[in-house]
Amino acid sequence: MKIDFTKLLNGFYPLEVEMEMINWFLKTGNKFDEHVGNWTVDGISKQMFDYSANSNNCKFPFPIKCSNFIGNSSYNFNVLKGFISNCLFNAIIKYPLKPVFKWREFEKIQLGKYRMLNFNLDYPKQEEKHEKLQGIYWGILKLKEIINTPLKKEFFHPDYTERIDPKIIDVVLFTNGNGYVFEYEFSFSNFNYEHGWNKQICQKEGESIAYFLNRVFKEIDLVSDVE
């Protein structure tokens, strides 16, 4: 696939290609990271996600939390698109940190240039598609609905009988350059559902984002205690 960086900034490509490019930017850019002092790391993650604290392999989530998705679908779409557009702008255009400048030169990333990259954009067939996967955008939007899902005790600390009524209390979607990760946090009623434990569902090498999201919904169904 020909990825023109000018067209990428102008929203020419579908959402799944933009997401794959964010992952690719991190994958190729992380090796240029530079330590500054004892804690801070300058690099593509810090540049793209626009923060100033310790950035080493930061788990910076896509905006899928309930607090970000209140209101109509147009607002929700704009939040997600705005986040992705900002990431792409920061990676390609924003005045670079020193290691990002080196990365851009090495990968020839600039307006007017293009790269030939291979991404799997396959979409599940109708008979294997989960009902919540109605396009990439809607699939991402539906991830937030997994919060508060009751879970089957047999899969969550079965040896601790005092830990009862497990449920999902939080979810995040992120990438550090090794494919996308859906992480959910779960806890138990006897802990008053305070912050607890995390499990991850990771995008497999060569797996399309559509198939990854489809698998997330199916794997959550397997462990959920919903009739």
Question: Taking the C-alpha atoms of 60, 66, 69 and 70 in order, what is their torsion angle to the nearest 10 degrees?
Answer: -150
Q: How many CA atoms lie within 13 A of 37 on its CB side?
A: 5
Three-state DSSP state, 36: strand
For the segment 168-197, the average pLDDT, to the nearest whole number, is 94
User: Which pTM does this prediction carry?
Assistant: 0.90
| Cα 9 from Cα 78, distance rounded (Å) | 15
Q: What H or E segment, with its residue span, contains residue 84? A: helix 73-92
35 or 220, which is more confident: 220
| Cα 130 from Cα 166, distance rounded (Å) | 24
Residue 100 clears pLDDT 90, i.e. is over it: yes
Q: Quick one: how far is CA 24 from the chain centroid?
A: 13
Residue 1 clears pLDDT 60, i.e. is over it: yes
pLDDT-based confidence at residue 108 (cuts at 50, 70, 90): very high
In terms of average pLDDT, the best of 25-34, 39-48, 65-74 is 25-34
225 or 38, which is more confident: 225
Query: For residue 53, what pLDDT is reported?
Result: 54
The type of residue at 14 is P
Lowest-confidence segment of 22-26, 36-40, 55-59, 86-90 by average pLDDT: 55-59
pLDDT-based confidence at residue 73 (cuts at 50, 70, 90): low
As beta bridge partners, residue 167 has 150, 187
Residue 179 clears pLDDT 90, i.e. is over it: yes
Percent share of the chain, pLDDT over 70: 91
Three-state DSSP state, 225: coil
Distances (CA, A) of 222 to 86, 135, 193, 218: 36, 22, 21, 6
Query: For residue 66, what pLDDT is reported?
Result: 44
Query: For residue 81, what pLDDT is reported?
Result: 87
110-145 pLDDT, tens digit per residue, is: 999 999 999 999 999 999 999 999 889 889 988 989
Query: For residue 154, what pLDDT is reported?
Result: 96
As beta bridge partners, residue 40 has 36
Say which DSSP state 202 is in: E
Residue 174 clears pLDDT 60, i.e. is over it: yes
52-69 pLDDT, tens digit per residue, is: 655 555 667 787 654 444
Query: For residue 70, what pLDDT is reported?
Result: 45
